[in-house]
Structure 1
């Protein structure tokens, strides 16, 4: 028979299915010798045997699982019915005897804390803490049994039901154990986090403490003292006014009392107790192998641990030492794609770059520039360069590199010499671009190199199969940047340098740099802008083909082209789309992640952009706008040149640099276009190999390769992968789902600290959302929240509000009146394209897609960098 009762010394972390998270952790701690008051667990078997006595319980649980979790009235009614039913069930006689025998063994004269402990509680990826109930100072057998029954019923409180539904847990698969623990009657209680719960710093222990029972802190009736300890030293104290405390009553139950005035402002813990508790917390953390949320109490000067659970709110850290202090920034924020990536996508990017610099955390990649930042020149240049990608990243990096603990670390020996051979040739090329070369010839030269490289990749992958094919993929990715950077990087880098120079020069010459945004319009040769124009051409073609338009509204990817062939005008549109795909089919939203479906794989992703263009842009208007942008840029150039024509030298350099600025600005997307093209050729090879692995029975479906690294795929192909393939895929799918729920920080340190800085200061309208101004102009319009471009439904005059944009979002820009994004900087894709199209843009607006309602009227000020609300509700 499965035990209905287990004592703490009989359970450990492996007992979670029987005693839940709380019970398993307490047993683990007591076994390891930590000061845990004795007690026992009424196991999940007891709960299951109890509900098995009820014929109605199965139908009630079925009804609960079928319920819409958003229907709060139904949720309340069902929850109340189940709780009432559970509290009326008679506990079987044998189970009751086992519980009372355990209670007598610990001591029937003690008071007890009776707490729920769910099997889905206190997991590394989900904490059900606080979802069920806790009862304190319970005395006597009748009260004990009554409160155990109440704990069982608390599995179906409204908040517990809602939490499980939100996190995707089946109500039938979450069982409840009840922890019965000897009650400590403390003078002081508190909560200790072994990592800072606010900023995530793993080296800081944060302690909240107050007088009496800890329930006063948990329930929020008292503001506890706050202490922070780092490396054995108290680094922060906040002594609160503690007006009340909760104490146990001799007869059972608790009472809330007003504290004496002289005790209200007294420091709850002595400095010695603070440091000692922090040491204890770190010992518990080390035992469990992860940061812990610990409840403690102090009785007669003795410390007791009454609960410990993992802190689930911390963003995962890369696998790296905490010391010496290092700083990392989010690659996804710089690339305007902050979604979680599957293992193959991460592996591909780490193969292309250096795995030592590109670190994985929470399904995202973080760049570690610490060694460069230890160089004086690196501290001067890199933050300025990052400012063009994301202003908030730049300011956070600047904050860290000014810290004494960062500055005390000496530069890595020989680093300057190692960097020089890479940097100097690129800077020489930039110098030639600035002063010597004909900028009109740059596009031809760059595209000739791109074609040569792409042909080389295709030839090297052709005809290979098995491990040789995957090893060739790995080699092509590993050597890609080595070829791309010296051959293409000098061109966009020249454009960035000239952007900075022109901005400063215009302020000197004209008093401000407002005219610069006109110089950015319709840059010649921008491969991504040309893609947007061709989307407009496709839309204009569909206007002539009403049956194609109707088909696109209901098309699916599986038989997209076959279906086109069956309708009037379908072949004509198919030919135009195939021409488009030949040049741009490797692109898609989030294109830096190889596992994202390309347009060639999922052509319906383009449908919203085509139909949206038809709704919001007149026939041929996109081409006319581009021509108009060219004219405005030419006129702006003439205005600038006239301003300095009295100075022969200024006039000469102004003409030269404006011309270089425009022609080389048109090349700023070419390096990424080539990288994505090469990645797509590699993807074709990987998926061909995936098909072979499916045929061999190694994988169930081709997309399973997304859950392996390149090295692991080579092992799979060779038959050398040692782990259970199905289990690995299952585990990684589950982890990926969790990663998708996380919000990645822009900047964090090796200590786990999420570094944030306050928004820019300035004279902004009350309640406005502050970001970075990246494309000039002020417009008003309806906000259209777009989380995925393939699901966008834009109308004329609407403002795109998005988490981020990359080249895969370009098709929507023709239809937008303005752009607001949560990430981005002056030189990121969305900003440059917005300037080319002449639409205002504000980027780096935190949580814009949550704070702005869909359909709400807003004003976007691309001059000053803010978004103002013009209505409270959506219209």
Structure 2
């Protein structure tokens, strides 16, 4: 579109490349009949025409693209240079004439608001709000042209340059349109969010309002009134003291004025206006199809909309109705892996677990236990179960939602209790037998026998097939996997937390219980950690291997070992480790994550870190010592209750069950990751064929398709072009990675945090859940990815979360602090087993604690203290 100027009624959402996000949205609103003051857009073609008159501009933009986004001094220097250059350029005569004619058509008697509208602005995933400039109450031809030029130059403000650089936008590919809109002289202005920007609730409209122009709110010089509306009812009115307002001057420009005392505490909007605004906001949201951030003003009692943009800060919702109210838990927080997942990883999990319970949102899965919570028994048991096993904050958040009248008024599904009883009764029967009847020492061989059988069956079912038939066989095997796991392994693993709860009930004091968790027999993940220690001890004897590991890469990892002294010896030991554990990795529930067998250098930091912080053979000695401490703790407990009598027998039995079954808690995940890795091999094998046929560009592109789509692709039934679909999904995945998933949210989009844990804690303490007893002080080491860890002796591991892929680091850590977790999650159990203090569920721990700071971890009471402000 080559026009220099387009009026609002000539543009809509499809015009974004020509009029930017702000202009496109205003045109869309105007065309749809919403009350928008008249105006026009000076298009991006006009901007290109303008900068084309400069012989220097191309080289200036080239230099800008080379700058480091973090080098603020250079950004400031080049921004100032470009702005000065543009402000001195003459506007070409034809372009100047087009702008003046448009201004005359709307009306020369009016004052105008002149706003920048960039092509990378007001987008669904990046608002760019406030990055360019706005000028209010502009009057006259000369001032109009001068401020249009100033808007063009504002594309290169320091903040705009830094924002684009940080978000990966090429400065050459971002163009500017200028919105010229008739000014409204309002009594009241404000901003309206059609979804609550704080809680995320899509049903709540949030309105900020103050007297005069909205610039007073945007610039932060006045505390606006806050109103909230839900379902046509005002649910909150917070009237602020509004001392200042900004008004237009008759001759142009604006002025700040002190408001009279009686007006300062006056409600800016009447109740009627609040409800009318909320209704208008929801209509605009419906038109655009997503929650909106709307700027409005009221002149002579009439509402005008001067801008609407998508609200980009909300966490996406699953594809589900908002009513009736439902509650969802982040599966990633339960599994200690909160990162975004690619579509293939998500679809595999949704094949294993029911799709109507495991819902996708923002590249993560959320568990929907609502139907269970609709029952009285579910509301009683489920929050307790979550609190004991996973996360106290999640438990509190669920309790908060299920007590609301709108939740309680919805009855449970007919027949749900009966169906649940049929499903759960045989499992409870098996759990009871394991608790009280069967020999606990036989549990490990029984579970491992099932695992071997299942693993063999899985591989056999995939042999002899290829193409889509092989993928369909894979889908089928995955779909029955969870049921087999629940019936054959869960009755053993469940005895671990149940026996602990029963022991707590039977014993007068539970001080000794945490020692029972040390060096659990047969824990496959702990055994993996011990072997890592063995590898580290081997490398101590092979200094050339140590040096090689420091610079090794994945592609030539094994080959390079042939060229260093002792390399063959290490290679044999390492390959034995990979043969047993190579299917594992951090974030291993995501099939698309690189496994240790694929990226062996992920293990190098753990091996080298162990060498720095643990003495030779110490890891094995500690394990033996832990076994002895557990035996002594069991003896002391039995001495306290006496060695005879029914109670003593029950306690002795429960201790045996707790130790034996506790060693099996990682077995289900070990089997699951084996299955996932086999699935990955099969899928990548099929992907190779798709690449050979030219259907996909590279085999890893399959990670951005679902299992169903892969089957359709093999059958030639996929309706979308796979290459463009993969490109679209890659872009979406990049956005998902920037999101911070909530632990608990409702179907209305509300993020529920739950009430904080109560207790007397030191001032400034970071409160979490006490997960492993003990109090230690040490230097904090922030680790966001285990493959990048650099732990030294005596350091405390501070991480967002941990899963079995993090286990190699536990031998080196003095204590553990995580942002996610509960009493029975991975980090807590392993910390107790290794005998190191742990506090989990500490919100924003990796941000609030700085790398190298001295901290105290109190694993008895569940808090962390920062002892010094200094860090490395």
Shorter-chain TM range is over 0.9
**Distance (Å, rounded) in 2 between the aligned partners of 1:145 and 1:613:** 67
**Distance (Å, rounded) in 2 between the aligned partners of 1:505 and 1:166:** 58
Say whether the 8 Å CA contact 2:40–2:179 is kept in structure 1. Answer: yes
SS at match of 1:874: coil
The superposition leaves residues 49-98 of structure 1 with CA deviations (integer Å, 9 ceiling, x where unpaired) of: 11111111111111111111211111111111111111110000000000
* Structure 1 residue ranges, 4+ long, deviating more than 3 angstroms after superposition: none
- Bigger Cα displacement from structure 2, 802-811 vs 263-272: 263-272
**Distance (Å, rounded) in 1 between the aligned partners of 2:500 and 2:719:** 53
1:718, CA displacement in angstroms?
Answer: 1.5
Say whether the 8 Å CA contact 1:477–1:679 is kept in structure 2. Answer: no
Match in the other structure for 1:777:
774
Match in the other structure for 1:23:
23
How many positions carry a matched residue from both structures?
Answer: 871
The superposition leaves residues 113-168 of structure 1 with CA deviations (integer Å, 9 ceiling, x where unpaired) of: 00000000000000111111110000000111111111111111111111111111
1:566, CA displacement in angstroms?
Answer: 2.8
Say whether the 8 Å CA contact 1:794–1:816 is kept in structure 2. Answer: yes
Is 1:173 aligned to residue 173 of structure 2?
yes
1:647, CA displacement in angstroms?
Answer: 5.8
**Distance (Å, rounded) in 2 between the aligned partners of 1:327 and 1:650:** 41
**Distance (Å, rounded) in 2 between the aligned partners of 1:837 and 1:129:** 49
**Distance (Å, rounded) in 1 between the aligned partners of 2:817 and 2:165:** 32
**Distance (Å, rounded) in 1 between the aligned partners of 2:391 and 2:763:** 24
The superposition leaves residues 832-851 of structure 1 with CA deviations (integer Å, 9 ceiling, x where unpaired) of: 00000000011111111111
Match in the other structure for 2:273:
273
Match in the other structure for 2:437:
436
The superposition leaves residues 349-375 of structure 1 with CA deviations (integer Å, 9 ceiling, x where unpaired) of: 000000000000000000000000001
Match in the other structure for 2:845:
848
User: Which structure 1 residue ranges, 5 or more long, are not aligned?
Assistant: none
Matches within 5 A, 1:22-171: 22-171=22-171
SS at match of 2:6: strand
Q: What is the TM-score when the length of structure 1 is the normalising length?
A: 0.99
Matches within 5 A, 1:225-624: 225-387=225-387, 388-506=389-507, 508=508, 510=509, 513-624=510-621
Q: What is the TM-score when the length of structure 2 is the normalising length?
A: 0.99
The superposition leaves residues 637-690 of structure 1 with CA deviations (integer Å, 9 ceiling, x where unpaired) of: 011000010761221111111111101111111111111111111111111111
**Distance (Å, rounded) in 2 between the aligned partners of 1:69 and 1:523:** 50
User: Which structure 2 residue ranges, 5 or more long, are not aligned?
Assistant: none
Which of 640, 649, 653 matches 2:650? 653
Is 1:790 aligned to residue 791 of structure 2?
no
Match in the other structure for 2:4:
4
Say whether the 8 Å CA contact 2:506–2:651 is kept in structure 1. Answer: no
**Distance (Å, rounded) in 2 between the aligned partners of 1:556 and 1:525:** 33
- Bigger Cα displacement from structure 2, 546-555 vs 733-742: 546-555
**Distance (Å, rounded) in 2 between the aligned partners of 1:334 and 1:679:** 19
Say whether the 8 Å CA contact 2:333–2:821 is kept in structure 1. Answer: yes
Match in the other structure for 2:193:
193
Match in the other structure for 1:694:
691
SS at match of 2:173: coil
Matches within 5 A, 1:630-669: 630-645=627-642, 648-669=645-666
The superposition leaves residues 284-341 of structure 1 with CA deviations (integer Å, 9 ceiling, x where unpaired) of: 0000000000001111111110000000000000000000000000000000000000
Say whether the 8 Å CA contact 1:527–1:666 is kept in structure 2. Answer: yes
**Distance (Å, rounded) in 2 between the aligned partners of 1:377 and 1:758:** 23
- Bigger Cα displacement from structure 2, 752-761 vs 130-139: 752-761
**Distance (Å, rounded) in 2 between the aligned partners of 1:545 and 1:138:** 76
**Distance (Å, rounded) in 1 between the aligned partners of 2:727 and 2:392:** 39
- Bigger Cα displacement from structure 2, 827-836 vs 714-723: 714-723
SS at match of 2:531: helix
Say whether the 8 Å CA contact 1:814–1:837 is kept in structure 2. Answer: yes
1:271, CA displacement in angstroms?
Answer: 1.0
SS at match of 1:329: strand
**Distance (Å, rounded) in 2 between the aligned partners of 1:244 and 1:853:** 40
**Distance (Å, rounded) in 2 between the aligned partners of 1:575 and 1:767:** 50
Is 1:821 aligned to residue 818 of structure 2?
yes
1:196, CA displacement in angstroms?
Answer: 0.3
SS at match of 1:207: strand
Say whether the 8 Å CA contact 2:769–2:863 is kept in structure 1. Answer: yes
SS at match of 1:815: coil
Say whether the 8 Å CA contact 1:590–1:596 is kept in structure 2. Answer: yes
**Distance (Å, rounded) in 1 between the aligned partners of 2:90 and 2:505:** 81
The superposition leaves residues 779-819 of structure 1 with CA deviations (integer Å, 9 ceiling, x where unpaired) of: 11111111110111111111111111000000010011011
**Distance (Å, rounded) in 1 between the aligned partners of 2:134 and 2:11:** 21
**Distance (Å, rounded) in 2 between the aligned partners of 1:94 and 1:307:** 29
SS at match of 1:699: coil
**Distance (Å, rounded) in 2 between the aligned partners of 1:593 and 1:405:** 36
SS at match of 2:868: strand
Say whether the 8 Å CA contact 2:398–2:754 is kept in structure 1. Answer: no
SS at match of 1:37: coil
SS at match of 1:59: helix
